Amino acid sequence: MLIVLLIIPLLIGLLQPLIASDSRRLRSIAAVAPSIQLCLGIWFLKNPPDSISIEWLPQLGLKLELGVDGLSLPLVILTAILTLLAICASQLEYVRPRLYYPLLLSVNLGLITAFLAQNALLFVLAYELILIPTTLLVAIWGGSQRAGAAIRFLIYGAISGVILLGVVLCFGWLNRSGLNFSYSSLSQASLPFNQQRWLLIGVLVAFCLKLPIVPLHGWQPKTYSQAPTPVVMLMSGAVSKMGAYGLLRFGLEFLPDGWMYWSPLIAALGAFSAIYGALNAIAQKDIRLLIAYSSIGHMGMLMLALAAATTLSLQGVMAQMLAHGLIIALLFNLVGLIELKTGTRSIAELSGLMNPQRGLPFTSSLLLIGLMAAAGVPGLAGFVAELLIFEGSWKIFPWPTLACLLASGFTAVYAVRFFNRVGFGRLDPARANWVSTTWGERLPALILSLLVLIGGIWPTSLTGISEATTAQIAISNTSTNQLEQQS
């Protein structure tokens, strides 16, 4: 059954350009793929599927090993939702739709493969697979400065992939039971502490390039601001989660001792990233860049929770992955909608969008919900995630946790300032010459808002599936006493 999740986007992506050429039909056909994936994913919640193991390149140790567990299933569902909504948010005016939708679906394919992979080499394959389609999506359909953004993104991504490949190959060579890349083998490998330490650096660099985490975030603001709205929804919501997922698997699960050694550094990086992202967001004058830096801030908090690696904080990691995925997609969607309607992305030129008669009242109301969720207001998904992160990390890393709390406060600052400037105030009638949003344009944001709300008032939806798995990973890292004993 698992293989179906992969075959569907592959098939539809390949066949689609041959079946239709009309933008509307292509979009409808493309939407079928993630819909099926979503239904299957939800079905898998109740009926866990069997793992698959098919030999692919035995000389390399590359096997098509697929399986779900508590970590990957929520992310698979998240990817399906975000892909579906990204397709819905794709405008019919995009040029070359016959290339566009298959590229989106190939990103989806790569993501699902990466999350389902039970073989490290397969994971790297999927990881790299995503790179080219996303670059093309940015380069062809992006904003005015898309060329530079795409190149930069490609370079950073390629370096990340190369480093990850190197690390995974080392995994394989250093594996005492032969050249075996499967997770089951790697998780029991128990490499010596020294090797773990140095391998983890590679893992960290590779995935921090993806999340991204300061100081490896150089590509992110430019790329997120130049990518088209559906692509940035998918990238910030799902592709970046691949980085967190990788850190959980490759870092925490396979290199626990090394993780404990480097965890203070990881926590510090996370805290610094959180503060850096939030402060930068306060200073932004461009609505896209504001949300992009906000994303960096939230990923920093995620790093902190990863560093602490307690049961609670890892639940926070999962919650944050899901919550942030939804919230950031919501924010980018709304911000993209505002830019589409008003024709500008400069905060200075926007004001009074909440005007019920001539503004964008629906869009700005949802934007308010999205910003509140990003700021961690209780009742919405962001709060659940942040609460778990702070509660889980506080005992292990008090100072970085305090820094992240401060960053969370800063989030409220830029959220309020942003909305105050853009939503409230007087609408300039000379600028207000747009047609109000249709229900089709509102739908993705509406669904995301509902999901964010559900996540906030029903926290188990964010953490329930993964609780058992994260508990397993965390158990080996609950106390810092072990750290002191080892060094």
Residue with tokens 């999927």, as numbered in its chain: 126
In the complex with other proteins, the residue whose CB is nearer, 48 or 429, is 429
Q: By C-beta, is 317 or 353 nearer to other proteins?
A: 353
Q: How many CB atoms lie within 10 A of CB 163?
A: 18
Q: Which of 54, 426, 438, 481 contacts other proteins by CB under 8 A?
A: 426
Interaction with other proteins in 338-357: which residues (CB under 8 A)?
352, 354-357
Cβ neighbours of 196 (radius 10 Å): 23
Q: What is the CA radius of gyration of the chain?
A: 21
Q: Least distance in Å: CB of 416 to other proteins?
A: 15
The binder of other proteins chosen from 192, 378, 409, 429 (CB under 8 A): 429
Least distance (Å) between residue 453 CB and other proteins: 23
Among 195, 436, 472, 476, binds other proteins (CB under 8 A): 436
Tell the smallest beta-carbon distance from residue 421 to other proteins (Å). Answer: 14
Minimum distance between the CB of residue 425 and other proteins, rounded to whole angstroms?
8
Would you say 217 or 341 has its CB closer to other proteins? 341
Burial 248-268 (b: 16+ CB within 10 A, else e): bbbbbbbbbbbbbbbbbebbb
CB-nearer residue toward other proteins: 392 or 423: 423
Please give the structure tokens belonging to residue 333.
């969607």
Quick one: which of 358, 395, 417, 421 contacts other proteins (CB under 8 A)?
A: 358
Per-residue interface string for the shown chain with other proteins, residues 18-57, x marking contact by CB under 8 A:
----------------------------------------
Only segment of 343-351, 385-393, 422-430, 453-461 that touches other proteins (CB under 8 A): 422-430
Q: Contacts for 177-180 with beta carbons within 8 Å, 24 or more apart?
A: 179/60, 179/61, 180/61
Does the CA dihedral 75-79-82-84 come out positive or negative? Answer: negative
Kindly indicate which of the ranges 176-184, 202-210, 396-404, 423-431 contains the residues binding other proteins, using the contact rule CB under 8 A: 423-431
Residue 341: CB minimum distance to other proteins, A: 12
Nearer to other proteins, 106 or 437 (CB): 437
- Our CA dihedral for 295, 410, 217, 165, rounded to 10 degrees, sits at -60
Contact set for other proteins, span 267-306 (CB under 8 A): none
Binding residue count for other proteins, defined by CB under 8 A: 11
**Nearest Cα residue to 125 out of 173, 169, 91, 93:** 169
> CB of 368: closest distance to other proteins in angstroms?
15
Query: Which residues, other chains included, contact 299 with Cβ-Cβ below 8 Å and sequence gap of 6+?
Result: 211, 212, 213, 240, 243, 244, 273, 277, 324
| Minimum gap (Å) between residue 361 Cβ and other proteins | 9
By the rule CB under 8 A, 438 interacts with other proteins: no
Considering beta carbons, is residue 307 or 337 the nearer one to other proteins? 337
Q: Which of 59, 435, 439, 487 binds other proteins (CB under 8 A)?
A: 435
Residue number, 70 or 352, with CB nearest to other proteins: 352
CA torsion sign, 147 to 287 to 414 to 324?
Answer: negative
Judged by CB under 8 A, the residue of 304, 360, 427, 462 near other proteins is 427
| Shortest Å distance, C-beta 337 to other proteins | 17
335 versus 427: smaller Cβ distance to other proteins: 427
3-state secondary structure of 56: strand
In angstroms, the CA 399 to CA 379 distance is 27
Q: Give least dist CB 331 to other proteins, A.
A: 24
Kindly state the smallest distance separating residue 356's Cβ from other proteins, in Å.
4
User: CA-CA distance, 37 to 116, in Å (whole number)?
Assistant: 12
Q: Are 115 and 245 in contact (CB under 8 A)?
A: yes
Distance separating alpha carbons of residues 329 and 229, to the nearest angstrom? 9
Q: Taking CA 302 as the corner, what is the angle to CA 467 and CA 136, rounded to the nearest 5 degrees?
A: 105
CA angle 246, 250, 255 (to 5 degrees): 150
CB of 358 or CB of 395, closer to other proteins = 358
CA angle at 38 for the pair 379 and 445, rounded to the nearest 5°: 45
Q: Is the distance from CB of 83 to CB of 331 less than 8 angstroms?
A: no
Choice between 163 and 427, CB closer to other proteins: 427
**Residues at the contact surface with other proteins, assessed by CB under 8 A:** 352, 354-358, 426-427, 429, 435-436
